[in-house]
Amino acid sequence: MDVDTAVDTDLLKQTLEAVTNLVCLCREGSITYINTAGVSLLGALSKDQVLGRALADFVPSEYGDLMRADMGAFAEDANGTPLKIHSLDGSVRDAVLSVTPLEGEPGTFIVEVRDISDFLRAAHETQQQELKLRRIFESVADGIVAIDGRGIIHTFNPAAEAIFGYRATEVIGQSIDLFIPEQDKGFHGSAIKDYRKRGHSDVVDNTRDFQARRKDGTIFTAEIRVTEIEEGRHRNFIATIRDVTEKRAQEEKIRRLAHHDILTGLPNRALLKDRLNRAVARAHRQEIYLALMYVDLDKFKPINDLFGHDAGDDVLRGVAGRLVSSVRGTDTVARVGGDEFVVLIESLNAPEEAGKIADKILTLLLAPFRIKGADVHIGASIGISLFPVHGEAPETLMKRADEAMYKVKGAGRNSFVYAEGASLP
C-alpha cells in the first residue's frame, strides 16, 4: 500500500485532523500530507499552499540544510529537536520537531511539530515573576523568615540578617529558638506544642511584639506577624519581623509627654486626675483614708526675678526631687502649675498622718537651694483635704485642698492647714 492510500483512510484522517500538533508526511523532504493544525502553524490559508513544499523552507537555514541532506538525522533524537518555525504569515514560533521513518517507505518520514511558544512564554513570565519576588524578598526592609512546623528555619532574607546579625548560612536548618531569649523559650515551646496538638496557634495571623535576641546576645523589641502556608500535607510558616525598639521608645516618650511635666518629669494634671480617681475608688472599697495636699511655693518669684528663669527651673526640679523623697513610691507627686504641686497620699491609717507628712515636706523645703554660688530659701503653703472627711468626690477633694492652701497663704505662709467644714475623727 502506498503512502497516499495509507493517509486516505477515513479513520486515520479523522485522527490526524483531531491532533493539535502539526503532523505531516514528508517524502524526499517535500510535504505530501499535512493536517489542519499544521496548516495553521505554518501560517497558510489552505493545505494547497503547503503541499509540495519542502519542510526545510519553514525552519532556520542550519536546520533546513540538514533536512534537505538527511531528514533521518532528526529521527535520532528521541526527545525531539527544539527549533524555530518561520510561518508564511511572517510569525516565528518556538517548536519541537520529532521525526519518525515510515516503515516500508524509504525516504518518507512522519513529522510532528509541537508549538511550545505559549509554554515558553508562560515559563518566562513565571521566571520573571519569581525574579521579581526574589528581588522584593532581598530588598524589603522587613526581615522574612520561613520555618516549618517544627520551628526549623528554611529561609532567611538579607533584612533578617541585618536585624539579627546572623548570615543566612548560619541559621538555615537551625531552630527558631536561636532568636528567643532564655526566659521566653518556655512560652515559645508551648506555642509549638499547642500548634502540633490543635493544628493551629493563636500566634498565627496576629501581629504582636516579642523580645528577640541578636547574635551578639542583645535583646530587642521586634514586631512579628506569622502567616501559615500549606504545601501539600505540610504546613510551613512565613514570619515577617521588624525591629521596633526605637519606635516603641518614641511611642513611650510621646505617652510620657502626654502625662508628665516636661520640666520636672512629674505626673501632670491629667495623670493626677486619673490616679486620684483610682485612689478614691480604692479608698471607697477598702474604707480607708487618703490625703490630698496642695503645695504652693513661697518666695519663688524673686528667684526668677534675681537669677533668671533657668535658675528658677533648677529650683523647681530640686523641689520635685525633695517632694518625691518625702513620700512612698506608691504615692503621687504631681506638678499642676508654675510653682504649684499636688501630693496624693494613699492608705492612711489615721488622718493625722497627713500632718506629719506635711511637716516633713516643709522641713525639706526650708533647706537652702544652691543657685549660682548663692544659697536661696523658699517655703511652702500646704492645704490638706482628707477622704472621706472633707469629701468623697475627687473634684471636691481638689477644691477643698486648694481653698485650705490659700488660707495658709493669708495667714503667714510656710505652714499647712486642713480643709474646713468637718472635724477630724
DSSP code of residue 419: P
Query: From start to end of 165-310, where are the E strands?
Result: 207-213, 219-231, 234-243, 289-298
Q: Which residues contact 390 (CB under 8 A, 6 or more apart)?
A: 396, 397, 400, 418, 419, 421, 422
Give the whole-angstrom CA distance, residue 265 versus residue 259. 9
Query: CA angle, 272 as apex, 268 and 275 as ends, to 5°?
Result: 145
Query: Most distant CA pair in the chain: distance in Å?
Result: 136
Task: Confirm if 93 and 115 have CB atoms less than 8 A apart.
Answer: yes
- Name the one residue in this structure whose C-alpha cell is 523552507: 57
CA 229/CA 70 separation, integer angstroms: 54
What separation in angstroms does the CA of 183 have from each of 179, 187, 206, 211, 213?
12, 9, 22, 10, 11
Pairwise CA distance, residues 1 & 105, whole Å: 10
Cis peptide before 388 (omega within 30 of 0): yes
How far apart are alpha carbons 173 and 154 in whole angstroms? Answer: 6
DSSP alpha helices (H): ranges in 296-384? 301-307, 309-325, 352-366
**Active site members:** 339
